[in-house]
Amino acid sequence: MPESCESSDSNDFVLDKALRVINELEQGGIIGRYAIGGAVALLFYTEPTLTFDLDIFCHLPSQGLLINLQPLFEWTSARGYKAESEHIKIEGVPVQFLPSTGSLVDEALDGAVERTFAGVPTRVFQYEHLLAIMAETGRPKDRARLQVSLDSKPADESKLTEILKRHCLEDKWRKMTT
């Protein structure tokens, strides 16, 4: 890797600053319980894969069937964090706040594990939930990422099988992994 690709400060992980802000959002009740999902969550388990987004799965306040994002946008914009398409850019990191899309994500959110990143406490989806979500989502990039992940770190087979069974994802899993 050329020297010019070094980041500006070797002690600056950038993600820790974004996570501090997200913790404030949770502590202030702007968002409910959150956990990191997607490719950034995979960083806690496997080799790094390219991503530009930080996916934050969380419970968001709702009125009836509609999710109310207004408090989130008001809080972040008051602190100078701008919304850019589907993201809010927090400390240089494009963060996507994703409400639960179903029982699998609900379970992943409930079962997320406590971790720290550069001293900042956070929560991360368990590896087997991340794999199951990739199978459920089923985009070409999920298939590619799933393969890279499994090559990098094998799953806990019994835990994964239980999750796939519970959410009727066994067929999808077979299609994604063969």
Partner 1 sequence: MNESLTTKEAIYRRKFDRRQGLASLSPEEKVKMLIKLQHLASQIALEVGRPCQSPWLPLKGEETAR
User: Which region, judged by CB under 8 A, interacts with partner 1, from 9-17, 20-28, 131-139, 169-177?
Assistant: 9-17
126 lines the binding site for partner 1 (CB under 8 A): no
21 lines the binding site for partner 1 (CB under 8 A): no
In the complex, minimum distance from the CB of residue 92 to partner 1, in angstroms, rounded to a whole number: 5
112 lines the binding site for partner 1 (CB under 8 A): no
Comparing CB distances to partner 1, the nearer of 15 and 58 is 15
Site residues for partner 1, 92-111, by CB under 8 A, read: 92-94
DSSP code, position 37: E
User: Which region, judged by CB under 8 A, interacts with partner 1, from 20-28, 42-50, 64-72, 135-143?
Assistant: 42-50
Task: Please select the residue that binds partner 1; options are 28, 33, 47, 68, rule is CB under 8 A.
Answer: 47
Dump the DSSP string for 47-113: S----S-EEEEE---EETTEE--HHHHHHHHHTTPPEETTEEEETTEEEEEEE--SHHHHHHHHTPE
Burial class (CB in 10 A: 0-12, 13-18, 19+), 57: buried
CA 127 to CA 28: how far, in whole Å? 28
User: Which region, judged by CB under 8 A, interacts with partner 1, from 72-80, 113-121, 131-139, 160-168?
Assistant: 113-121
Residues lying near partner 1 in the complex (CB under 8 A): 1, 3-10, 12-15, 43-48, 50-53, 92-94, 115, 117-118, 151-153
